[in-house]
């Protein structure tokens, strides 16, 4: 079969798909020798030189290689023209504001720009403009330091274009980041050339999402074309789609500035999970942020996704100027291999000063991956626990007393061994304060009570020993101790609740050798009937009736099986009220066994009238039934069985 070489290249290439033998080889040669038609709607047919565009001093931009993102394999588009992208630069100083460019010296000289001050660029992301979070960031920076702030507005080049699907709009915006990065770099060169004084100006770029990738290209451009290096780049959740697996020439990486710090907040969706800086911070693990809903399939799914992504900007702004009413606001982060290690507090030492996420990250310039937790709302940073204030309020509400809060926050920070060592100094300081108060007010040591939580308990103990050495014996120390985080802080909750009207005189304890004995009601007698009260009233032994209910279940199996761990939920209904449903301790029951459980009760139930029992099974084959229920409670006489009480 003979085919004319005068066929249009596109037709020749299409024929090549259906021609066999030497004809296929001939048509393939036609396509390779005429590469001007190199693409069809179904994709690239042959290897060829990439397309390129040239925009004056900003240089030539070649097509990027294909990049995979999820199921998509695409390349960001070539940058649009400078007139289409429409980038503008808005300069702000403490002395005023002005729109500048990289050509008009006269205009720049009429501004308050001073190159001896640090110059900070702020670059927004996809489908944004400058009049967003960037304005609040600019205001915070100017309030904190005397600097030049330049807002980079490339909203026309970053927008979701009408009549074009979202993916194509994003790919075009992603392609435009290179042009905007080159424009930022050329403006920096222009600013340097505008001042003949010999000094080393400091330029710092903060970029969010696509703006972070823009900052990276600006740094790369300056390094390659001007042989200069930016002092710092902060990437706020750098964009992930079609950048994560891209070559370093097209995305943010540590070579783009002397120091690159990155804050990851949505790295499972919009932000990259790749460590792209000298220091990478992962607040709350870098994925889901507190205060942002985790339901990603609901009606507000896009809003929820954006919340995690946008948190990076909020965190950074919050780090610039700590709130005056939160002096102990901490953004310290810790070097962990993964977030689960941080949650278990396995990596709370830094071998030196721990880095601070955000504005002050460059004070330590620690390298590596660091984790921290934040709160769900502004000011977001971790602050000292509020339990101290709750105890104070409870004491002042119920008693006429003086309350002194001991704040040793700075000394309590990791490393733990140093914090533990500091407890002796703090204990000695409290002892000296007590001695001073006794001397100045002519009071007695018997009027002092020290309450400590965790390491604070050891501080209280050291304080007591210090005073004892001088003949002063504290009448009481309350140490609040418990393992691990939730369990740890529950101890403070119990002490606070002991001060409340609802729980007052209802937190009695019993002299049991272990919890197993208590669970089976084997030790519910106190000497002379005086059971101690946990919490604030522990020093007062009361002869009041302890409010608890002892329930014995006699069981039988409906099937001849062995042990089964039963789940029983019980509700008591009395003449004066009813209890909540209480899940009894999970326990293995044997066929025909009698098992006794202790259920916390209320003193106002009155005479028992009904018991509601809910039984849960792991399998229908393991069903069992109650033969008899016996209830014993101080103030109740006789027994109650399933024949005279309702079960449900």
Whether 102 is a known active-site residue: answer: no
- b or e along 290-302 (b: 16 or more beta carbons within 10 Å of the residue's beta carbon)? eebeeeeeeeeee
Among the options 38, 124, 278, 309, which is catalytic?
Answer: 309
Q: Which of the 8 DSSP states describes residue 621?
A: G
Dihedral sign, Cα of residue 109, residue 115, residue 116, residue 121: positive
CB 618 within 8 A of CB 589: no
* Cα 123 to the center of its chain, rounded Å: 24
Q: Which of the 8 DSSP states describes residue 222?
A: I
Among the options 237, 253, 261, 266, which is catalytic?
Answer: 237
Q: Torsion over CA of 134, 140, 143 and 144, rounded to 10 degrees?
A: -120
Q: Torsion over CA of 452, 458, 461 and 466, rounded to 10 degrees?
A: -120
Which residue, among 506, 474, 646, has the nearest Cα to 571 in the 3D structure?
646
Strand partners, 209: none
Give the integer Cα–Cα distance in Å for 333 and 371: 5
Which residue, among 283, 418, 410, 280, has the nearest Cα to 348 in the 3D structure?
418
SS3 track for 597-612: EEEECCCCCCCEEEEE
Give the integer Cα–Cα distance in Å for 378 and 326: 11
Which residue, among 614, 645, 616, 615, has the nearest Cα to 628 in the 3D structure?
645
Q: Which helix (H) or strand (E) holds 15?
A: helix 9-16
Distances (CA, A) of 643 to 611, 624, 628, 646: 11, 17, 8, 8
* Cα 542 to the center of its chain, rounded Å: 46
Whether 209 is a known active-site residue: answer: yes
Whether 400 is a known active-site residue: answer: no
Give the integer Cα–Cα distance in Å for 545 and 634: 7
Among the options 209, 220, 454, 498, which is catalytic?
Answer: 209
Distances (CA, A) of 586 to 278, 569, 582, 617: 50, 10, 12, 12
Instruction: Catalogue the active-site residues.
Output: 209, 237, 309
């Amino acid at each position: 079969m003979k085919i004319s070489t005068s066929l249009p290249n596109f037709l020749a290439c299409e024929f090549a798909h259906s021609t066999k033998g030497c004809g296929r080889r001939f048509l393939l040669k036609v396509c390779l020798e005429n590469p001007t038609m190199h693409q069809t709607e179904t994709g690239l047919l042959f290897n060829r030189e990439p397309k390129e565009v040239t925009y004056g001093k900003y240089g030539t931009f070649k097509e990027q290689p294909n990049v995979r993102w999820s199921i998509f394999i695409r390349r960001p588009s070539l940058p649009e023209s400078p007139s289409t992208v429409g980038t503008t630069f808005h300069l702000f100083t403490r002395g005023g504001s002005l729109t500048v460019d990289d050509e008009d010296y006269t205009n720049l000289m009429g501004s308050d720009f001073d190159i001896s001050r640090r110059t900070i660029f702020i670059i927004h992301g996809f489908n944004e403009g400058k009049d967003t979070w960037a304005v609040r960031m600019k205001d915070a920076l100017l309030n904190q330091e005397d600097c030049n702030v330049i807002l980079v507005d490339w909203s026309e080049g970053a927008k979701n274009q009408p009549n074009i699907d979202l993916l194509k709009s994003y790919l075009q915006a992603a392609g435009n980041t290179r042009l905007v990065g080159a424009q930022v770099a050329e403006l920096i060169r222009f600013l340097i050339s505008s001042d003949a004084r010999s000094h080393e100006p400091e330029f710092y770029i903060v970029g969010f999402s696509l703006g972070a990738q823009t900052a990276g290209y600006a740094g790369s451009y300056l390094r390659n074309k001007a042989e200069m290096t930016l002092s710092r780049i902060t990437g706020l959740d750098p964009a992930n789609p079609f950048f994560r697996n891209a070559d370093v020439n097209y995305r943010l990486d540590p070579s783009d500035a002397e120091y690159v710090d990155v804050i990851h907040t949505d790295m499972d969706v919009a932000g990259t999970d790749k460590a792209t800086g000298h220091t990478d911070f992962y607040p709350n693990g870098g994925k889901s942020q507190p205060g942002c809903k985790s339901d990603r399939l609901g009606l507000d799914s896009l809003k929820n996704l954006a919340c995690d992504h946008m948190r990076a900007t909020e965190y950074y702004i919050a780090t610039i100027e700590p709130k005056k009413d939160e002096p102990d606001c901490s953004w310290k982060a810790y070097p962990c291999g993964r977030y689960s290690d941080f949650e278990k507090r396995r990596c709370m030492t830094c071998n030196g000063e721990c880095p601070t996420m955000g504005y002050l990250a460059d004070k330590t310039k620690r390298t590596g991956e660091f984790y921290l937790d934040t709160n769900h709302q502004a000011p977001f940073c971790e602050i000292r626990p509020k339990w101290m204030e709750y105890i104070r309020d409870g004491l002042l509400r119920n008693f006429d007393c003086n309350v002194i809060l001991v704040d040793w926050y700075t000394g309590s920070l990791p490393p733990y061994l140093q914090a533990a060592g500091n407890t002796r100094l703090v204990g000695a300081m409290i002892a000296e304060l007590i001695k001073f108060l006794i001397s100045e007010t002519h009071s007695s040591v018997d009027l002092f009570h020290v309450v400590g939580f965790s390491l604070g308990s050891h501080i209280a103990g050291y304080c007591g020993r210090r005073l004892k050495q001088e003949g002063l014996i504290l009448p009481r120390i309350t140490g609040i101790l418990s393992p691990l985080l939730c369990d740890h802080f529950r101890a403070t909750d119990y002490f606070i609740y002991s001060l409340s009207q609802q729980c007052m005189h209802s937190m009695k304890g019993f002299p049991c050798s272990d919890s197993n004995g208590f669970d089976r009601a084997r030790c519910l007698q106190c000497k002379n009937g005086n059971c101690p009260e946990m919490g604030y009233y522990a020093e007062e032994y009361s002869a009041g009736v302890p409010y608890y209910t002892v329930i014995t279940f006699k069981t039988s199996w409906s099937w001849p099986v062995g042990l089964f761990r039963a789940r029983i939920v019980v509700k008591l209904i009395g003449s004066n009220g009813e209890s909540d449903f209480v899940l009894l301790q999970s326990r293995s029951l044997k066929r025909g066994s009698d098992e006794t459980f202790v259920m916390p009760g209320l003193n106002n139930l009155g005479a028992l009238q009904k018991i509601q029992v809910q039984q849960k099974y792991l399998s229908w084959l393991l069903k069992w039934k109650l033969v008899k229920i016996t209830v014993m409670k101080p103030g109740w006489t006789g027994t109650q069985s399933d024949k005279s009480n309702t079960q449900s």
